[in-house]
Amino acid sequence: MDDQTHPQPPSKPAAAPPVVVKKYANRRLYNTESSSYITLDTLAEMVRQGRDFVVYDAKTGEDITRGVLTQIIVDEEGKGRALLPTTFLRQLIGFYGDQ
């Protein structure tokens, strides 16, 4: 038998690790990657750019990413960007009753 080596397929570049954001009691958000304070609008833009992030409560260390993402949606809807149909919102709320 021939002992041939098979070329390996090119590996995909490793995805960048998520940006760690800390939320302080005064509701300020701190991006640990850029060492700067940011806003919910900044996080919304990161989502649009496909940049992953995780948000931790600075005091407890609890992962609060889901709540922050929900807040971004509420803020966007409140700015007159009502993209989510009322029927979808009702269905979404209904899912919480099935727990």
Question: What's the pTM?
Answer: 0.78
How confident is the model over 23-51, as a mean pLDDT? 96
Kindly report which listed range (31-45, 55-69, 85-99) carries the lowest average pLDDT score.
85-99
CB 53 within 8 A of CB 43: yes
Given a cut of 80, whether residue 16 has pLDDT beyond it is yes
| pLDDT, tens only, 40-82 | 999 999 999 999 999 999 999 999 999 999 999 999 888 887 7
CB 45 within 8 A of CB 52: no
Domain locations along the chain: 19-96
Given a cut of 70, whether residue 98 has pLDDT beyond it is no
CB 66 within 8 A of CB 96: no
Residue 78, pLDDT score: 87
